[in-house]
Every structure is written in structure tokens, then in C-alpha cells.
Chain A
């Protein structure tokens, strides 16, 4: 059970040019507790973590570790104070061996030379503790992401940590791997570590955490015991308003036309998806449900021509098509908002206007340039339509918030007047208000413009709210389709877990 106060942060302030990232935030962590740090994007979670680990210097406030004031100036300083961190994006070196990734910076040495034997032996033991049996001398990049994440955790816990920070560790793990991770985390808690758990997943908070600290707009909302804070209250405290208009839009329950727009025949791409058959109807919102790694993103990428299938074929309105490049798909009126906004979506140093017209221009080709006046008109139209918050349409997109960036990407595709719009996790990491707007927009697009929408999301609630039909994927295969009343969380879970067709 939680013991003494291990870490205390008092009156923490951090400013960036034009932004008050943290204002007078207090935070305490006891030994032997798992403490959830939650808040919408921009609430200041990451900044608080980065201040604590010495990535950013403090502007005001004090940090105490076991009663002693500390002032970490770098991650190394923080490590020396026994604070270690596992970041959301894997921060290891792909070219080094697994064992070395665990021990680099504090390698055991013999006669001032690195003792590779001990390193490999210890790494093996450490990973066996986490139920991971792999060749630790192979380079990290020969393993999948989930394994890399476990290696990162192995590294963090081996640094004699007293405080372990897990910054969204589960975002790239599937259910089994997540449970595995939780077992490990509970074990560490039992050893008396204080664990800060940053996450977006509400379920995981209630499953794992003892206390919850909520941040909003860089300010502290409060710290609560988990059992004393109902979920609804947690959410309303996070967004600062009551849930309301989210459910107001009703989805298009029965799709009128039964006209097929696109068909996938027996699509197989080794290591991505096997024998995938699907008809996509006009005017429907079709969800791809399934866990991460089930092949949902990979399938979408094949439909958009990013990857070529090894077997099988695609056809649009009955005519066979072959995509060798996304531009081919764009020419067939298909649009795709990718999962990773930062690296696959935005062109950071271009303006909002340029980002909006980019796909349209790419479709038109190099030589038929859209005149500036026309560009501005289109940009204005979509900024208004999607209520994108910008100071001007010539603002650089990288300076927008995540939600507004996402809207710009959607605007980019709507400007091409697509017949099929594929949205891969369009609401990930954006605030609940914008989330609701995007869901509403998806429903309306299908309903009013007769557009086919493929919607991929990890949040089942969101899928239930928006989709008229669900294709369920498991282990790189389509295992079922759900329509109408079958679209409820029980049925979806059952299908994902294995049932229906088998």
C-alpha cells in the first residue's frame, strides 16, 4: 500500500513564448503507488514530465525527492536522482543490440573495458523476468515495436529507479501486451516504486492506478483517489464541461443505396493482411475494428495504394484498378487521412492554405497550377466549414493544435471531392470537443454527400457512435462483419476475441 511521500513538486511554472504551459502546479507521488497523470492534449502532462526529467528548465517552483530538493538539468541528472522514464515514442537506438540498449550509459566494466559477457547475461535475465525470451545480441531494429517497448521498460526499471514515469506506454501495445505490462508494473509497485502513469485510456486508469492527478490548460484541477472519482466526473473534470452534444447526431442507420463503390477481392499482402474480401457501399460509414496489428491500417494503406498487394485485386464500380502509388488512388477519388499526423500528414513548414490545397494540386498535376486567388478561396471555404481555428490562413500548420491540424488534413481531402474517404485514427490525441465535431462531420458526409467513409479507431465507443457497418479484423484477417443492432461493444469484443465466423 502507498507509503511515504517520495516526490513532491510545488508551484511548478513553465512558460514558452506566448504559452503558459504550466502554472503553479503541485504534484505528489508516494512510494508504492501508481499515480495516473491525465488531461487533454495541451493540459501540460508532457511538460510536467519534461520538467521533472530535466529536459526543460523550471521557470518557477521546487522539486523535492525524499525530502531533498533537487534540480535536474538533464535526463542524466534525473536518472541520478533515481527518476527514470519510458517515453511514448521508443527512445532507444535501433542500431545497437537489445542488451546494449538496456545498459548503455552504465555498462558494467572489467579493467575499464566494457564487459559484454555480463551485459548480455544480465539483459537476458532481466528480460526473462518480463517473460520475454529473445536473442539479446541482435540489433533492436530486428524486433517489432511491442518488444522494443518492453526493452525500454526493462532499461528504465534496471536503473535502480525510485520513480518510474510511463508516458503513454500502451499506445502501441495490443491487449495481451498491455496486460503483460500491467503485471510488470504491479510487481514494481509491490517493490515500493512510485509510478507515474500518463495515459489517454480511461479503462486503464481504473484498472491500474491508485490516485489520479488531473491537469487542464496547464493548471492543476486536483488529485483524487481512484475509487472516489466516477468516470463521468473524471471526464468532465478533464474537459471542463459536461458531456452533452456528443450523442446529439444520429447516424445514418439504414444506408439507402446498396450501390457498391469499391471492392477488394482476396487481397493478400504478406505480413499485413490475408485473403481480405470487402464491398464498400456508397454513403456508408464502414468501421475497421480490431486491435493494433490486426491489419486495419495495413489494409487501408493497400486501398490507398501506399502498399501493393501480393495477391488479389481491387475494383471500383466494377472496373478493376491497380494502384502503384497513392496518386493513382487519388485519381480514383479516394482520400486517406493517415494515422500518424506528424510524420505522414502535415507539411509542417507550409501554411494552412498550402496544406489544404496540396492534395488537390497533386491531383491536378504539376502543370495545372491553382492560381493564388482560387487557393485562398478554397482555404477560406474549408476553414469556415470545419471551423478551423487559425490566426490567418497563411499561418504555418505546425503552429496549430493537434485537433486543428487534423481538421486541416481532412479539409485537404474534402477539397478533392472524394467518393471514398479513409480516416485512420482521426481523433487520436485530440481534445474531446474536436473529437465530437469530427465524428459529427463523418456522419454528415456519408448522409448528405453520399460519400463512403472508412473509419478506423481504437476506441470502440467512437465506432459504435459513427459506423453503420463494421468489418472486424483479427490477426491480419477479416473475421466478421457487424451491422445494425449487432454494433455494440459486447458483440464487437466477442468478434475480436474470436467467435461469429468460427
Chain B
């Protein structure tokens, strides 16, 4: 009985989901070390970040939207569009890399803003609007070019190949720096600013938030704008890895971002998320991919199946946590 109670308390704790994510990551990593030679090298760990820098940023973006109970399925397309526009501008107009980057970031910002504006002002379904956004961005990418455009800009290539050594034998890329910075800033924004708290309130109960005098409309638009910005930032980081623009870049990245966020403890009904948790959500996906690379015999689609199983596991766990909380409540 008392053990049951203690268990219920643990499950009810704010950081239970976060804890489970970290433990799971630890277990997966341990399995990797035990099974594969070379898995314990520090660079393997850093590569998780290098390979998934763009996904980390995208996950941060979608978490803002998921927090308010919305959804954005345009992320992957915006990433592709960003890569394509960057490549096109750098290669065919010879614009400066810095200016191009600023331009594409503004583009993402505007893209997110327009989606948020339509959803908020006209009460349109987020799924439909961002679906249109997905079509639009992907289509536009094809309008610019249906072939690969390689980025040969020297500054850009230099940044892309820069290695930042954290350990004598372990380095990260510029993209990882951007990703980690985004994560830290966003975590602080969500925890310590009015805007951040309004987002949580909005996701908890929109009607209440409105009656409590919070600027719900503005907050909603802002959340989608943040997500749009993060998508284009993820696009920039993605282009640093791929060094090209191509219409089929990052297909389905939004789904990866959503699953990372959920595995990291975000409730899709809104109002609950912890950004450091979502980082581990991304890393878990990364570890699974690394497994498959190390194994060499398994096909890539196993990643999807394993991720889906994990997603399933976490979603079921979330629904059990909610039930548990209700039970504790009624016993009070």
C-alpha cells in the first residue's frame, strides 16, 4: 500500500517524464557501448549533436506550438525552402552569406507569422493552415529549382567544416552551437518571461487565459512565429550540413520533431513541456540511428519502426500519468 503510494507520488512528480526520458537514453547508450566497438568514443556522443543539430532546433520550435495546443506540419518544407533559397541566392546572385542568412531567417519569421495570423484571426484549423504551408513551401522550393544546387560559397563552407574541440578528441560543429544556444535561450524564455508563461497558460486553458487578461491572440501568433523562425534557423543549420538546396531535403522532419518533443515529455493536448527533455527526445532518435549505422546490416527503415514504438510507449505512459493524477485527485 505504502509502496503504491510512493510510486504514485513519483509518477505524479513534475519531472517524472523527464526522468524516464533520460533513463531511457542512458540505457540505450549503455546497450550501444556494450554491443558495438567504438561506441564509447567521445566523438560518437558529439556526433549525435552534430547530426541532429537541425532537428534540435526544429523540436524547440514545434514545442512552442505544441505548448499552446496547436500543431505545425510545415517545418520540413520550410527547412527545404530555406536551404533552396540560401543556395539559390548564394550561387546565382552571389550575395554575401551573412545577408542571405538574415534574409532566410526573416523569411521563416514571416512564414510563421502569416500562418499564426490566419489561425488566430480567422479561427482556422492549425492542421489545415500549416498543411497548406507545407504544400506551399515545398512547392515553392520546386519552383526555384527541381535539381540540386550546391553551395560553393567559401565563407559558408568554412563555417560548415569548422570543428570546435571540446575534448582533445571530441569536437562539435557550428550548427551544434547554434542549436544549444537556441535551446538554452528558449528554455529561459519559457520559464522566466511573460511571453513564455502566457504560452503555458494558453495551452492550459485558452478561455481562462483570455479572462485572466492575457493577450491570447498575440501569444498564439507569436508561438507560430517562433516556430517559423526556428524552422528557418534549422534550415540554415541543415544547409550547413548538406551544403546544397534540394526539393526533397528534410521530408517529414516535422514528424520527427513532434515525436522527439513527445518522447521528451511534451503533452500534445498543450500546456505541458520541458525543453531539456525534448533535447533528450532528439538524442534518443539519434542513438537509434547510430545503432543502425554501427550495425551496418539493418536497414534504415528500422529507425522509423523503433521510433514509432518508442513514441507509442511514451504516449501510453502519458495517458497513464494523466489517469494516475486523476485518481490521486479524487482520493484527496
Contact = CB atoms under 8 A, between A and B. Distances in A.
Main secondary structure of the interface of A (DSSP, over half): loop
A94 B204 contact: yes
Interface string A59-81: 00000000000000011101100
Given A95-B271, A142-B329, A87 B211 contact: yes
B329 A104 contact: no
Interface string A94-107: 11100010001101
B205 A114 contact: no
A114 B197 contact: yes
Interface of A: 55, 74-76, 78-79, 85, 87, 90-96, 100, 104-105, 107, 112-114, 139, 141-144, 155, 270-272
B193 A95 contact: no
A105 B212 contact: yes
B213 A79 contact: yes
Nearest to B329: A142
A272 B331 CA distance: 8
17 contacts: A74-B213, A76-B214, A78-B213, A90-B208, A91-B212, A92-B205, A93-B200, A96-B201, A100-B197, A107-B194, A139-B14, A142-B12, A142-B325, A142-B332, A270-B331, A271-B330, A272-B330
Interface in B177-221: 188, 191-194, 197-198, 200-201, 203-205, 207-215
Central interface residue in B213, B328, B329, by most chain A CB within 10 Å: B213
A85 B215 CA distance: 17
Interface of B: 12, 14, 188, 191-194, 197-198, 200-201, 203-205, 207-215, 271-272, 325, 328-332
A144 B201 contact: no
Given A93-B200, A141-B325, A143-B332, A113 B193 contact: yes
A337 B210 CA distance: 32
Given A87-B211, A91-B212, A113-B193, A96 B331 contact: no
B331 A104 contact: no
Given A92-B205, A93-B205, A75 B211 contact: yes
A105 B213 contact: yes
A105 B200 CA distance: 12
Given A74-B213, A91-B211, A114 B204 contact: no
Nearest to A307: B330
A142 B209 contact: no
B329 A91 contact: no
A144 B213 contact: no
A76 B215 contact: yes
Nearest to B203: A95
A226 to B, nearest CB: 29
A55 B200 CA distance: 22
7 shortest interchain CB distances as A-B pairs: A93-B204, A76-B213, A95-B271, A95-B204, A91-B208, A113-B192, A271-B330
B209 A93 contact: yes
B188 to A, nearest CB: 8
